[in-house]
A and B are shown apart, each in its own frame.
Chain A
Amino acid sequence: MKKKLLASLLTVSMVAAMLTGCGNAAVAEETPAETTETTDEAEAPAEDTAAAETTDASDAVANLIAATTDTVSLKVWASEEDQALTTDLLEKFKEAYPDVTFDIQLGSESESTAKDTILADVEASADVFAFADDQINELVAAGALQEVSATYTYDVANANVAGSVEAATVDGKLYAYPMTADNGYFMFYDSSVFTEEDTQSLEKMIEVADAAGKKIAMDVSNGWYIYSFFQGAGLELTLNDDGVTNTCTWNGAGGTDVAQSILDLFSTGVLVDMADEDQATAIAEGTVVACVNGTWRAETAQDAWGENYAATKLPTFNVAGEPKQMSSYSGYKLIGVSPYSKNVGWAMLLAEFLTNEDSQAARFEARGLGPANIAVAESDAVKSNPAISALAAQAAYATPQRVGGNFWSPAETLGQILASGNPDGTDLQTLLDTTVDGITAPVQ
């Protein structure tokens, strides 16, 4: 009821704004004709030329500016660390549209927990928010993301690296604007212990670390990381069309070989199962000389290893005697727009602004976050960053995270059991069967 009323009010006020022109006579005279013209085009969707699209886009923005008479209130969520940068970008956004009065509230919400907050009350979501790409399915399923059906200031799909666009796409529809490409994992190592060649194979790394009396850390009792072994060996874990349940072939042919490899690797005692925070301590203490982790640990590693700090793609590991490249989840941070926003148009323009080339370059400069924008990623400054280039090297073997909620708990437990050496001596096939039962279980 309320929504309908609001929508009709909006329409009425927009029509009124168009007719009166809000003092902008030129736009007001042009718009009616323009609108009919563009509608015709929309009705006959086809090979629009790029040029036509640009004019359409700028017309649409001009219309929007003309139609906006009231103050535009927007709520934006960015992570705690991103507050200063986002404040600057918001100021620039306001400068870019001097004819419009904005009232933009910036709130703090971590990208990793955005989903939890939004799903608690979808209608109370911020208009524009940053989130990690693994949450996109659940957000789309809950109707918390506005589809990006048109872009206005830059071409989102072609300006960003393919992986990031794929990560922002669900069922062939683009739902978010790629912001960073740095949320995946790869291998950090101390180059005083390992040569670059050593880091090609996990078995070799273990041998070297063992000789040095040091350890290699990986949080394998976590679904996010254990995925790299199974996916690397060619087994599959995918999300079903319903967006919530999973299909998983980890218990299929070759599954037990992978489980056996993980058991063998961790039974050396050199490769250890360690949570992220513990890894930070262990790196600082010097007991861990290599770890599978992400850019957020770059600083810790750099502080501890100094000049010997290095990063590279994940190594290979042996499955039934054959080396297989470890896979990984590629991770991106995206910016989304709430469909319940009262100013959807402005929210979309702001999301575009926050993810355009300049903003991504600013983000890399200010915070060292790997850009998703192709032009920025090609810059020398970005290329010389070890963590980000390691991530880029791993990208060839990485897949976007498409998995339903029932994956985490069973996978975590599988990792825990394998890393602790399968203490109950459960038959590996049974172990995997139970895990897959849990992962593929319908949501009860």
Chain B
Amino acid sequence: MNNKFFKAVGNYFKEFGTAIVKGDIFVKLSLLFMGAGYFARKQIINGIIMMLLEVVFAVMCVGYAAPNLAKFGTLGTVQFEQVFDPLTLTSTVNDYDNSFQILLNSIIALFLIVVFILVYISNVKTVYRLQMDQKEGRHINTFKEDIRALFNEKFHITLMTLPCIGIILMNILPILVLIAVAFTNYDQQHMPPSALFTWVGLRNFKNLFTNSATITFGYSFTKVLVWTLEWAVLATFTTYILGILLAKFINDKKTKWPKFWRTLFIIAIAVPQFVTLLLVRNFFGDTGIVNTICANIGVTDFLKNIGLVSKSLSYIPFLTSPGWAKFMIVMINIWVGVPYQMLIATGVLMNIPEDQIESARIDGASSFQIFRKITMPYMLFVTGPALITDFVKNINNFNVIYLLTQDVFVTSNQALANSNAKEVDLLVTWLFRLTNEYYNYKMASVIGICVFVICAAFTLVTFTRTIKGDKEDEFR
């Protein structure tokens, strides 16, 4: 795969080189005036568009890219200053630098420059191709024909344009900014516009893996990471297996009114998740209704006697002690998540080839054997990719954890507290609180990059594993 990639890159530049060397005067002129090659082949409108593009790019470079990129190395040096005149009741503000805007604009500018270079290279190649076309007497498209082509044989390009622009604006650029912030000291003491922030190299990454009296990020990171992975595994597999079982029970021929049961569980999906979660948080509060009931019917005392609840408590700490909270979170997640899995499983179960099950039954296989040898492998094969996405989604399952424990759970682990983490935090909820409550953008970025790396690595490995081989043929 790597070889292919490098070969492709090599070819890309080789073609560019050939175009320059073998191109005629107009192709060579295109290096300076991007429209030249088109004018020579009578593609006037294409030529004008290219010339315009070149001019716009030049203006962008001078007016936008240059002033921002000039400050990119320092991220600004002029501090915000404001003078208020008590006599006129007006204030004057100096021409200050906003580090964040410089960072953002520089990244956009760099991005535009890269895009322009790509367009520039492909322009030269296209112009060279036009030259060849003319030499060999092939038809050269008019502008109208070019446009029409975009709706016919090149329709895929038209279709892909909008989503690509969306991805670039909504995902790629923010991610680039996020990555850049991880190498700065952007935090509460350095908040633009009133203060400047600047590059600090790898210091934040070092802090994430350091553990001392004052910096406990290293300790907290390991703790939180371990729980994040535990949670992702638990949450994914419990809902997955229970969802399949539930679907099987409902699909069973002996079950009466399957549609009624299915609807009942789908209602659980219809209620917005955060409403359910906030309600459940109140139910399971220390003075919540569940605790009142448990105390009245003696469950609390029973749990105290068998040592599951500390003797000094008069309630069950459902969401307030680490062990209980983790248990409850997984439980509540099952309740919230199973209906979805049930829906998916129902669809798949209905599509299992009936003849396979029939022949197995004739051979004398028990229901459990059929489930284990036919149903499960089939399910795993069909829902494998969905399972992986679920796992990744659970690594970032913000809702369940945050809504159930925010304002309720207080950690009694001092080392965690010193870096604003809690036992029940996932990397993503920790990240959220660091940004939202402590404005620690730089550490949040570092954690964000870690989450991204973990998710990306996991997805790549598992996807290539599940799709590799001839598994697809097994079920044909």
Contacts and interface: CB of A to CB of B under 8 A. Distances in A.
Interface of A: 1, 3-4, 7, 10-11, 14, 35, 38-39, 42, 56, 60-61, 63-64, 67, 116, 119, 122-123, 138, 141-144, 146-147, 149-150, 152, 221, 242, 244, 267, 269, 274-275, 278, 281-282, 339-340, 344-346, 348-349, 405, 409-410, 412-417, 420-421, 423, 431, 434-435, 437-438, 440-444
B417 A413 contact: yes
Contacts of A3: 93, 95-96
Contact of B418 (A149, A281, A409, A431): A409
Contacts of B217: 444
Contact of A282 (B88, B91, B287, B310): B287
A122 B194 contact: yes
B191 A444 contact: no
A413 B84 contact: no
Nearest to A282: B287
Interface in B405-429: 407-408, 410-420
Contact of B86 (A11, A150, A409, A416): A150
A221 B440 contact: no
B191 to A, nearest CB: 5
A395 B463 CA distance: 64
Interface of B: 80, 82, 84, 86-96, 187-189, 191, 193-195, 207, 213-217, 285-287, 310, 312-314, 407-408, 410-420, 436-440, 443
Contacts, number: 156
B443 A149 contact: no
Contacts of B439: 119, 405
B287 A14 contact: no
A390 B327 CA distance: 43
Contacts of B82: 339
A443 B214 contact: no
A143 B193 contact: yes
A123 B418 contact: no
Given A413-B411, A420-B312, A64 B89 contact: yes
Nearest to A281: B287
Contacts of B414: 410, 413-414, 417, 431, 434-435, 438
Nearest to B421: A409
B191 A416 contact: no
Contact of B215 (A141, A221, A269, A444): A444
A416 B320 CA distance: 10
Contacts of A414: 414
A336 to B, nearest CB: 14
Contacts of A349: 89
A150 B80 CA distance: 21
B410 A122 contact: no
Contacts of A348: 89
A443 B437 CA distance: 13
B188 A443 contact: yes
A439 to B, nearest CB: 9
B412 A416 contact: yes
Contacts of A149: 84, 86
Contacts of A150: 86
A441 B210 CA distance: 14
Given A60-B88, A409-B417, A444 B443 contact: yes
A416 B91 contact: no
Contacts of B413: 413
A221 B419 CA distance: 17
Contacts of B80: 143
Nearest to A405: B438
B188 A138 contact: yes
Given A1-B95, A14-B90, A278-B286, A344 B84 contact: yes
Q: Which 4 A-B pairs have the closest CB atoms?
A: A143-B194, A345-B89, A438-B418, A150-B86
Contacts of A282: 287
A142 B287 contact: no
The interface centre, meaning the residue of B287, B407, B416 with most chain A CB atoms within 10 A of its CB, is B287
Given A344-B84, A345-B88, 4 more contacts: A144-B194, A344-B91, A412-B410, A443-B188
30 contacts: A4-B93, A7-B91, A14-B90, A35-B87, A42-B87, A56-B87, A63-B87, A63-B88, A122-B193, A141-B189, A143-B80, A143-B194, A274-B287, A278-B287, A339-B91, A344-B84, A349-B89, A405-B437, A409-B417, A409-B418, A409-B420, A415-B410, A420-B310, A421-B312, A431-B414, A443-B187, A443-B188, A443-B189, A444-B215, A444-B443
Contacts of A60: 86-89
Contact of B90 (A152, A274, A345): A345
A413 B313 CA distance: 17
Residue from A7, A60, A244, A349 whose CB has the most chain B CB atoms within 10 Å: A7
B412 A244 contact: no
A64 B89 CA distance: 7
Contacts of B286: 274, 278
